[in-house]
Amino acid sequence: MIELKQITKQFHVNGDTITALDDVSLTIEKGEIFGIIGRSGAGKSTLIRMINLLERPTAGVVEIEGQDITQLKKKELSSLRQRIGMIFQHYNLLKTATVEENVAIPLRLEGLGKLVIRERVDRYLDIVGLSEHRNHYPEQLSGGQKQRVAIARALAHEPDILLSDESTSALDPETTESILELLLEINRELGLTIFLITHEMEVIERICDRVAVIDHGNIIEQGNVLDVFSNPRHETTQRFLKTNLDVPEEVVSELQTRGTLVHLSFIGSQTEQAVLAQLTKRFGILPNIIGGGIKKLKAGLVGNLLVHLDGDHEQTELAVRYLKTSGVHVREVSNHATVLDRLG
Amino acid sequence: MQQFWTDWGDLIWTGTIQTLTMTSIALLISTLIGLPLGTLLVLTRPNGRLANRFVCGGLSSVINVIRSIPFIILLFFILPFTRFIMGTTIGVQGVLLPLIVFTAPYIARLMESALLEVDRGVIEAYEAMGISTRKIIWYVLIREARSSIVLGLTIATIGLIGATAMAGLVGAGGLGDIAYQYGHLRFEPEVMYVTIFVLILLVQSIQSFGNRLAAKLKRA
């Protein structure tokens, strides 16, 4: 378990004080995949570096398994860091070393024996699927392959925790998918706790159990991915969610002049119930689907619909209440400004 | 042609050996001083692993001061120091110290720029793996920079060969001295031409050796 308690981090740049993290508290459970999402400059890079103390907090405590790591001596910190793997956006491999050496060298520097190193290099290159490329140099590999080498290098220390710093941000969608799949597999099969930061929604949706949204050094929202995404409270969160319901602004404002516009989220099995048909049947309301899509979250499917409800005001209210009691998350798209926020 | 070699062959051969001896000894010692200094410059610069304004600034100024002095002036300027350290100011022994004082700061700068090319991210990755700064310097920083280091040392070697031409002034001999003594003072232009040709050959082969080694060390 990793606990960040009231972490504040300030940088002094040319006489100015910049607060990168402002009283941040987080708990990451053993074995889960915890994601931080935020725009660039929100403080997520600084936050992830608190866990292995690449950056030291100005105030606050970082606890791993109940131990305050900010108090560790140099040697103890070194051995702690060996139990925390880290992967990066730009892979950070040795250009002068082969795939195999890239995994082996850190182990050798750590003082492990030749036999152990060989066995681990074989095992982890196999897990990431690069056994055949062991004698290649990083420059001969694609981005995804390089990230796999970096993952093998991190795993070869047999860590308990893996930190992922924007590890898929430089990759194309297909490669991103395969790296995320690999991370999921590692989490499931090796039981690693994964803490990741990203600015990509799909990374969170695809593999995270829990998510925290960071903005200007503050955690503005956190919880299960399903809950946060089906019922985002904060504007920044909603903005991250805009993606698959890109309806032109004119359409939205036109529709609002006659009737009510609602955003519906269906979770898991409800996706199959014909709730919209019930609206017509029970309340005489004609739902008109403006846009929609289905997202595959780690915990299951989430369907999102933007629906225009055309009908009597009172009946509409009843209909919305009916939807809510059927377990559908309903957000009314009420005025122009929030529409823009929600729909981009 | 035959006659030329009988007359001058030995002299040119001796000169070549002298130049190579001076160059290689001075290069070796200058590298042993320059590489650590270059590393120190990189480590102590602002945002470096061991950021220290005083060390970095002080060292940088000393290097700049020494590098401002042309070799021929340096050679005479530090005569007392040379006598104190080496016990003599003439011959190969007398010229080695000035050559080192001249070259070490140059190498320090060349090493600094080679090391600065190394991606900070790799260093951070090794830091995150709990590897000590000392090991990171050797196994990451210098390893990753090795190709640029070799190119830098190649440049320094060629500079050194040039500087050894002045060594004749303190009786250390070498090709430069022969070209000057015989070509200029005694008016034997053939000797000068051949000497220059040997120098060109030396510089060419050192540069292409350096290039090839650097390319090999770069590996992808």
β-strands A286-297, A210-215 pairing: unpaired
Rounded to 10 deg, the angle between the B2-44 and B91-116 helix axes is: 50
Longest dimension (CA), chain B: 69
Helical spans, DSSP H, in A111-263: 114-127, 143-155, 173-190, 201-207, 225-230, 235-241, 249-256
Q: Which of A76-85, B6-15, B105-114 has the lowest mean pLDDT?
A: B6-15
Q: Which of A58-72, A219-233, B148-162 has the lowest mean pLDDT?
A: A219-233
At B35-83, the pLDDT tens digits run 999 999 999 998 888 888 999 999 999 999 999 999 989 988 888 888 8
Question: What's the count of helices (H) and strands (E) in chain A, helices before strands?
Answer: 13, 14
* Nearest-5° Cα angle at B104, B102 to B109: 110
pLDDT band at A328 (very low <50, low <70, confident <90, very high): confident
Q: Which of B129, B142, B218 to mutate to test the interface with A (most CBs of A within 10 A)?
A: B129
A94–B contact, CB cutoff 8 A: yes
Say how far apart CA B171 and CA B190 lie, in whole Å: 22
Alpha-carbon separation of residue A271 from A26, A108, A174, A335, A342 (angstroms): 32, 53, 26, 27, 22
* Residue A93 with chain B: CB contacts under 8 Å: 122
pLDDT band at B187 (very low <50, low <70, confident <90, very high): confident
* Residue B122 with chain A: CB contacts under 8 Å: 92-94
Indicate yes or no: CB of B129 within 8 angstroms of CB of A157: yes
Average pLDDT rounded to a whole number, residues A252-258:
79
pLDDT band at A245 (very low <50, low <70, confident <90, very high): low
* Residue A77 with chain B: CB contacts under 8 Å: 130
pLDDT at A342: 43
Average pLDDT rounded to a whole number, residues B21-34:
96
- Cβ-based burial of A172 (10 A; exposed 0-12, middle 13-18, buried ≥19): exposed
At A156-214, the pLDDT tens digits run 999 999 999 999 999 999 999 999 999 999 999 999 999 999 998 889 989 999 999 99
Average pLDDT rounded to a whole number, residues A76-105:
95
A142–B contact, CB cutoff 8 A: no
pLDDT at B90: 83
| Cβ–Cβ < 8 Å for A93, A147 | no
Model confidence at B94: pLDDT above 70 = yes
B125–A contact, CB cutoff 8 A: yes
Q: Measuring CA to CA, which residue among A149, A144, A145 is closest to residue A170? A: A144
pLDDT at A319: 87
List beta partners, residue A36: A197, A212
Average pLDDT rounded to a whole number, residues A222-230:
86
Neighbour tally for A249: CB within 10 Å = 12
Phi/psi of residue A266, nearest 5 degrees? -105, 130
Indicate yes or no: CB of B143 within 8 angstroms of CB of A94: yes
Phi/psi of residue A331, nearest 5 degrees? -125, 125
Rounded to 10 deg, the angle between the A143-155 and A114-127 helix axes is: 140
Of chain A, the percentage scoring pLDDT greater than 90 comes to 60
B49–A contact, CB cutoff 8 A: no
For residue A151, the chain B residue with the least C-alpha distance is: B125
pLDDT at A272: 52
Residue A169 C-alpha from the chain's centroid? 12
Say which residue, B27 or A225, is predicted with more confidence: B27
At A15-30, the pLDDT tens digits run 899 999 999 999 999 9
Q: Which of A70-74, B29-33, B108-112, B174-178 has the lowest mean pLDDT?
A: B174-178
Say how far apart CA A120 and CA A138 lie, in whole Å: 19
At B127-143, the pLDDT tens digits run 999 999 999 999 999 99
pLDDT at A269: 64
pLDDT at A337: 40
Which ipTM value was assigned to this complex?
0.84
pLDDT band at A246 (very low <50, low <70, confident <90, very high): low
Say how far apart CA B218 and CA A188 lie, in whole Å: 39
At A256-279, the pLDDT tens digits run 778 888 888 887 765 556 788 888
Model confidence at A338: pLDDT above 60 = no
Model confidence at A303: pLDDT above 90 = no
pLDDT at A301: 81
Which DSSP string corresponds to A271-337? GGS-HHHHHHHHH--EEEEEEEEEEEETTEEEEEEEEEEES-HHHHHHHHHHHHHTT-EEEEE-SHH
DSSP annotation of A128 reads T
At A32-46, the pLDDT tens digits run 999 999 988 889 999
For residue A49, the chain B residue with the least C-alpha distance is: B128
Say which residue, A293 or B136, is predicted with more confidence: B136
- Cβ-based burial of A131 (10 A; exposed 0-12, middle 13-18, buried ≥19): middle
pLDDT band at A296 (very low <50, low <70, confident <90, very high): confident
Instruction: Report the SS3 class of residue A65.
Output: coil
| Cβ–Cβ < 8 Å for B154, B55 | no
Neighbour tally for A156: CB within 10 Å = 26
Please measure the distance between the N-terminal and C-terminal CA atoms of chain A and give it in whole angstroms.
Answer: 37
